[in-house]
Amino acid sequence: MQYQEAIRSLTDAVARRQAILFVGAGVSMSVGLPSWESLIAHIQSDLGIDCSTNDCHRSSYQEIAEFYRLKHGSICPLVEWMSQEWRVDPDCLRKSHLHRLIVDADFPFIYTTNYDANLEAAYEAFGKPYVKITGAADLAAALPGLTQIIKFHGDFSNPEGLVITESDYFDRLSFDAPMDIKFRGDAFASTLLFVGYSMTDLNIRFLLHRLWKTWRDTGQERARPPLYIVMHDADDVQKHVLDRWGVTVIEGRGGNAEESLLLFLQELKNSLAAQRASCGSADVLTFSRASRQTKSDKLVSDEPRSCSTTASSLQGTSVAAFDEASKT
């Protein structure tokens, strides 16, 4: 039941242009990029850290990245390595069914904590315009009407702006950076779908908790738009905690996490295509009816009608017809 309800809810939200897709590392890993664990293993090797010792396992990933910055004086060498090693050939992205489904879904906002440029490259590979947002300057210059790809933790174009070390994460805990403010504003009016995330990601858990707390503090939680996360093998603990925060877990129906996500996004694509086809047919019927009405009006009155008047009449008829169709 939750599966189909999520499909319907997201279909309506995308049609209203009030939907956010939040993309995690699982989507990048589907085209061969390494996991966060692999990145940390590279950092440990670069720093000469012996992972056979207990000291290595007592350190968090963010702590190890912090140590890298302290040892090298900057995170830039690591970012340079990532920007070279994490490139995916455009042909690979064109063959990625998962990336094609993401582009075809046409979400107005795509947030991601991934540093790589695979989402942007996928949009370019499939010829779909977009605008990338990595900070306050991009927010001010963003053109309206285009899909926004918001790099929530930065990207390789600004190494020092990446959220990767422990200090970086702590600095974002206040949830008042320009990107956080934008997310709060977008999320308040949008249905959210999280994909490619593991709930072991404390940053995402913190994000979900802060969003829930913000709504709770308003005293109007019932007005909150739905929030979904696709998970292949969520356990009862995760489901109950996420449910407490107003997050509905969509349990995958595939044999693994990637297959489960593919099946869900394919069904969403089918639902969106059906709605768009239905709306297109309704528009044709509306225009036909409006044209007949215009001819009938001309028999009654030969007064000249301006283009703006005719357009207004057609627009009003279209809205009324759509409302009537929605009731049936």
pLDDT value at residue 227: 96
Q: Per-residue pLDDT tens for 124-167?
A: 999 999 999 998 899 888 988 899 999 999 999 888 889 999 99
**pTM of whole model > 0.85?**
no
With vertex at residue 311, the alpha carbon angle to CA 306 and CA 316, rounded to the nearest 5 degrees, is 130
Per-residue pLDDT reduced to its tens digit, 69-111:
999 999 999 999 998 888 888 899 999 999 999 999 999 999 9
**What are the DSSP calls for 26-66, one per residue?**
HHHHTTTPPPHHHHHHHHHHHHT--TTSHHHHHS-HHHHHH
Q: Output phi, psi for 27, to 5 deg.
A: -70, -40
| C-beta atoms surrounding 262 within 10 Å | 17
Tokens 């086809």 -> residue? 277
- Residue pLDDT, tens place only, 277-309: 988 765 554 544 555 554 444 444 444 333 333
Measured torsion, CA atoms of residues 277, 278, 281, 286, in degrees rounded to the nearest 10: -140
Rounded to an integer, the average pLDDT of 313-326 is 36
Instruction: Calculate the average pLDDT of the chain.
Output: 83
Whether 30 has a pLDDT exceeding 80, the answer reads: yes
CA 69 from chain centre, in angstroms, equals: 30
Residue 126: CA count within 13 A, CB half-sphere: 22
CA 55 to chain centroid, in Å, comes to: 37
Mean pLDDT confidence for 188-208 = 87
Per-residue confidence band for 325, with pLDDT thresholds at 50, 70 and 90: very low
Q: Looking at per-residue confidence, does 312 or 246 come out higher? A: 246
